[in-house]
Amino acid sequence: MSQKKWITLDPETLNRTQRKDVDGIEITLGMSPFDLPDKVSGEYRDEIKKFVITFQYLGVTNEPLRPLRSVEPHILFRVGAHSGRLCEIQVDVAAAAADHVRLDMIVPEVESAIGALGDQVPNRRDNFSVAREVITENKSQLIEGVFAGD
């Protein structure tokens, strides 16, 4: 089993702001800091036989999670029951026919599945898009040492 190591993120750099002119007044629009992850981790959990990517959010501890179906049968998304934020991604490594050499090949499938998730829950599309960006930018750190004990 791998040890959970958190990767600290900078929510400010993840926030895509845009300026708009509304009736002659320039305003800046962006995501709530509460919808931007501030930490992410990747670990293999022996007890469920899955590789798990976990997102942590500002001020949130122990929000109940609910599952969301994925277009990929070996990927399960778990979102906050109240917030709808993407909190966890579980990848059934055995069903995906992956091992420590090929685990990094699953990441594009996860990224694609997150894109499709935005179609299921349109009001959370920005949160899912940021999660996909975080995975893309931190791929090597997320899978680093996952199967070191094998």
Per-residue pLDDT of 20-69, as tens digits, reads 888 899 988 888 889 999 999 999 898 998 999 999 998 877 899 999 98
Tell me the one-letter amino acid at 23.
D
Mean pLDDT of 104-118: 83
User: What pLDDT does 147 receive?
Assistant: 54
Confidence of residue 145 (pLDDT cuts 50, 70, 90): low
Q: What is the CA radius of gyration of the chain?
A: 16
Whether residue 48 contacts residue 68, with contact meaning beta carbons closer than 8 Å, is answered with no
Instruction: Please state, in angstroms and rounded to a whole number, the distance separating the CA atoms of residues 117 and 7.
Output: 24
Burial class of residue 127 (count of CB atoms within 10 Å of its CB; 0-12, 13-18, 19+): buried
- pTM comes to 0.84
Higher pLDDT, 140 or 146: 140
Confidence of residue 150 (pLDDT cuts 50, 70, 90): very low
Tell me the one-letter amino acid at 132.
R
Whether residue 11 contacts residue 36, with contact meaning beta carbons closer than 8 Å, is answered with yes
Query: In the predicted model, what is the mean pLDDT of the chain?
Result: 85
- Per-residue pLDDT of 55-105, as tens digits, reads 999 887 789 999 998 888 889 999 999 999 999 999 988 777 655 545 667
Whether residue 40 contacts residue 142, with contact meaning beta carbons closer than 8 Å, is answered with yes
Confidence of residue 112 (pLDDT cuts 50, 70, 90): confident
